[in-house]
Structure 1
């Protein structure tokens, strides 16, 4: 089993590109994206109907290809988080974390004791099948990544305290939910969004944490936010990439016919 050095790569300041898996149902998706240069995938339990069994296979397939499997859980609840982490994922994105108490709850739920409160299963397949539980839980605690999502004006007001929460590794800006909560639908280029990114990066950096972001489509905006310090990038989902490339190819051949 290949364990991705995702935490080490974050610490080195690498730009780590991820894909939101909404459409794919194959365990090959991790290997496919690894060949394309992706570092991580997000199995989206909040917004995608990927069945648990398929998500398990896709997460373990990604690990074996050297791609970090995250799950975006539906709710900030220990049982919800445990269901993903004991079924193949090695990181979680916890949505709508607005206060440090909520961040602490998420952090406790994503590590085995004594660092956290994650219930110990019969096996931890992320690291193969020959480790003892003591060895496997220690490996898990060393490699798991906890990302809490900053998606509201309340979260922004508390971002420094959220960043200081022990066990939180990444502050992940959910740009679409954030701009809607700010009353600016479509306002990705707004001064408020730029300020939110800079403030989140400053809070994370002060605490030795990292910043991720999703929801942006424009490459110029991505360059700006990466220059600001965003490093964990959720570029888009597999369905939109398929649609864009398929549309491009169909238009090319239709253009040949029209000559």
Structure 2
């Protein structure tokens, strides 16, 4: 069986990450705002498998793709998040081809991988499905995305992107910049060149290219110009903090104006 890379829409898919507020209400907020997908971040923060499952099942019912970012290539939850309803798994800190091969082995069913056959899956409505049908639907709808966040990952990017079973590569912007010796300077020319090399590797092998943690002023040059199809715009706690600052500032200004008139 040859796996076809799960296709993204021709338009750029813009997503929201959830890091702290792991309840199903985030699905409604994400849909109402018009985001194209939701990423549940299990790498940084308090969200665990139970909260992720609730969000993913709600996403399935709402028609919203929900991806789970696990803790790394060695995460015990690599296949479990897929069993529990995630549309795909985003794996951070993929530094070598060998790590990517291990990820494929654990997230893809035979003959491409060795993912264990689960019981009823959320993507099948928890109904009883014949094994061939279960595998066909799972492989057709599941996306496996490797995050490139280091100099070693940059060197292996083309091999990782070429690997059957990997649907796309995504850059962890801040970690990649730090690994290249430019902590906090995502727009540095050396970092920008790394973005270009990773984007070109994805395009060469017909895989999706995505970015996460990239400031808005760099989106055009370091994402759109490289045909990025998946952009994680921000996370919910940043939105809350920024909104709280803005609203408080407005109210402070109104109060000050009232006292001076």
TM-score, scaled to structure 1: 0.91
Count of paired positions: 251
1:42 has 2:34 as partner: no
Query: Relative to 1, partners in 2 of residues 1:23 and 1:223: Cα closer, same or farther, differing over 3 Å?
Result: same
CA offsets 1:54-93 (integer angstroms, 9 cap, x no match): 1110111112212111111113137420221112212111
1:163 has 2:161 as partner: yes
Match of 2:30 in 1: 33
> Do the aligned residues in 1 keep the contact of 2:72 with 2:94 (CA within 8 Å)?
no
1:231 has 2:229 as partner: yes
Question: Unmatched 5+ residue regions in structure 1?
Answer: 1-5
Could you tell me how far apart the structure 1 residues matched to 2:65 and 2:115 are?
A: 19
> Do the aligned residues in 2 keep the contact of 1:78 with 1:118 (CA within 8 Å)?
no
Q: How does 1:184-199 map to 2 (within 5 A)?
A: 184-199=182-197
> Do the aligned residues in 1 keep the contact of 2:200 with 2:226 (CA within 8 Å)?
no
Alignment equivalent of 1:221, drawn from 218, 238, 242: 218
1:178 has 2:176 as partner: yes
SS in 2 for 1:258: helix
Query: Relative to 1, partners in 2 of residues 1:103 and 1:223: Cα closer, same or farther, differing over 3 Å?
Result: same
Larger Rg: 2
Query: What is the deviation of 1:49?
Result: 1.1
CA offsets 1:113-147 (integer angstroms, 9 cap, x no match): 23321111211012213341422332111110010
Runs of 4+ in 1 over 6 A off after TM superposition: none
Give the CA RMSD over aligned residues: 1.6
Could you tell me how far apart the structure 2 residues matched to 1:133 and 1:77 are?
A: 30
Query: What is the deviation of 1:27?
Result: 1.2
Question: Unmatched 5+ residue regions in structure 2?
Answer: none
TM-score, scaled to structure 2: 0.91
Could you tell me how far apart the structure 1 residues matched to 2:136 and 2:75 are?
A: 19
